Amino acid sequence: MQLEFYKYQGTGNDFVMIDNRTEFFPKENTKLIAQLCDRRFGIGGDGLILLENDLDTDFKMVYYNSDGNQSSMCGNGGRCLVAFAKKLSVIENETTFIATDGLHHATIGIDGLVSLQMIDVDTVKVSPDYVFLNTGSPHHVQLVDDLENYNIKENGAAIRYGDLYGKAGSNVNFVKQIDDTTFSLRTYERGVEDETLSCGTGATAVAIAMNVLGKTMETAINLNVEGGKLVVSFDKKEGQFTHVFLKGPAEFVFKGTIEI
């Protein structure tokens, strides 16, 4: 069977996109999904995303990590899926869609940047050495010295698989402050089990965590990720974060077919 796919990337976070509105794709075949995401034996991607019909919104997002397992929300993947939906003429420049963590609203600007509303955050766990919060996916946020030379894979895996988060694990973000409104981060993603060039829910988590820690008083924060730049904005009231938006590029790379 010939499978038609599209490749998208958002600040280096890359995804295999499939139009599954006819529900032809074998969704339970984790081995196939992992093979399609494999960079040597498949198409290559940090994840695979299906665009499906939904009765109440414009479309449904079904997200799989590169290990083939369905996973929690992916911010950059959501932004890329919005761009994909526009390419398929499912939407124009504004949309509401459903994902595993609920409803999402998004817009596409005249500059092509996609702004995606993330879930509200009302629980942030602050510990002496780290912050933990869920922005659609669980995230450990930790300030480190010498971020550029920090061993992300080794240290990230130690936290992800350590006793702190148990079997479920967590994504892990290491952060360096640049100025009052800008932070650099590198992320170890569970499911990929390696560093990725960008993580949207991670960038969102870092922005909120840095505000909670008092590292910034701003509510629009610039995030430097390995694959580019993102902006996270939010409203804050009595420790609750609402109207959380993740903004950045979502770019079509190529289209192709592969035999499955």
Q: Is 194 exposed, middle or buried (0-12, 13-18, 19+ CB in 10 A)?
A: middle
The Cα 60–Cα 67 span in angstroms is 21
Q: Which is it for strands 220-225 and 228-237: parallel, antiparallel or unpaired? A: antiparallel
Q: Would you give the distance in Å from CA 260 to the centre of its chain?
A: 27
Name the packing angle between helices 75-87 and 200-212 (round to 10°): 130
Which parts of 145-199 fold into alpha helices (H)? Answer: 152-160
The Cα 76–Cα 116 span in angstroms is 9
The Cα 162–Cα 154 span in angstroms is 12
The Cα 260–Cα 247 span in angstroms is 34
The Cα 201–Cα 159 span in angstroms is 18
- Confirm whether 80 is a catalytic residue: no
- Confirm whether 74 is a catalytic residue: yes
- Options 16, 159, 199, 207, the catalytic residue: 199
Structure tokens at 105: 């609203």
- Options 48, 74, 175, 244, the catalytic residue: 74
Q: Which residues are catalytic?
A: 74, 199
